[in-house]
Amino acid sequence: MIKKGITIPLQNINLYGNLNIPDSANGLVIFVHGSGSSRFSPRNNFVADVINKAGLATLLFDLLTEQEDIIDEQTRQFRFDIPLLAKRLIEVSYWITQQENLKHLNLGYFGSSTGAAAALIGAAELPQLIKAVVSRGGRTDLADTFLPRVKAATLCIVGALDDVVIQMNQESLAQINAKKELIIIPGATHLFEEPGTLEKVANEATQWFINYLS
């Protein structure tokens, strides 16, 4: 397993990430965190660890620069700027295809909350590149007009007690013309803080990525 912190140079900024590559990995899951979170999200790192143990690589990266993050903490200016977040995700995805040690890997997205909208937009914009998307408690409604263009196999995972998001995900999946599924985790709220619920998320997501990235 290769584990390293990386700097991702984009046009005028640098973004920072944590890259884990198991031996003989043939797929890479890019994590797209939700509002107010970062590459250090404990929930996403938990899921990433399960995915790594199954033999797939993961990249968790900050969608915002350090300066933007400071502004966002005070104003919430960037966390709901879905076009900006999707643009960053797409640029990072292109960057991966230019890296000698990564370009052979099949790519998937794991999006949480608002990050799920950015993930679906990214998948719609990169239909030949992104093979699978998993949404955890995702604000899929914010991807809106992009949904009919999603070609990646899409799994939405929602807590059974997260009524509003269940409805959003059902409506979003109805617009996606690809392999798709909705899994509702019993007893779980939006953040999957209840005992055992995040483990179920991680296991379902891992199986989905194995099916479509391996």
Domain ranges of the chain: 2-213
Topology (CATH) of 2-213: Rossmann fold (3.40.50)
Q: Are strands 57-61 and 106-112 parallel, antiparallel or unpaired?
A: unpaired
CA-nearest of 91, 100, 75 to 30 is: 91
In the sheet with 153-159, reading across from the earlier edge strand, the strands are 2-9, 14-21, 57-61, 27-32, 106-112, 130-136, 153-159, 180-185
> Distance (Å, rounded) from C-alpha 66 to C-alpha 68?
6
The predicted structure's pLDDT at residue 34:
83
pLDDT tens for the chain, residues 1 to 214: 999 999 999 989 999 999 999 999 999 999 999 877 889 999 999 999 999 999 999 999 999 998 888 888 888 878 789 999 999 999 999 999 999 999 999 999 999 999 999 999 999 999 999 999 999 999 999 999 999 999 999 999 999 999 999 999 999 999 999 999 999 999 999 999 999 999 999 999 999 999 999 8
The predicted structure's pLDDT at residue 165:
97
> Distance (Å, rounded) from C-alpha 214 to C-alpha 205?
13
Residue 93, SS3 per DSSP: helix
User: Which tokens hold the place of 177?
Assistant: 């013309």
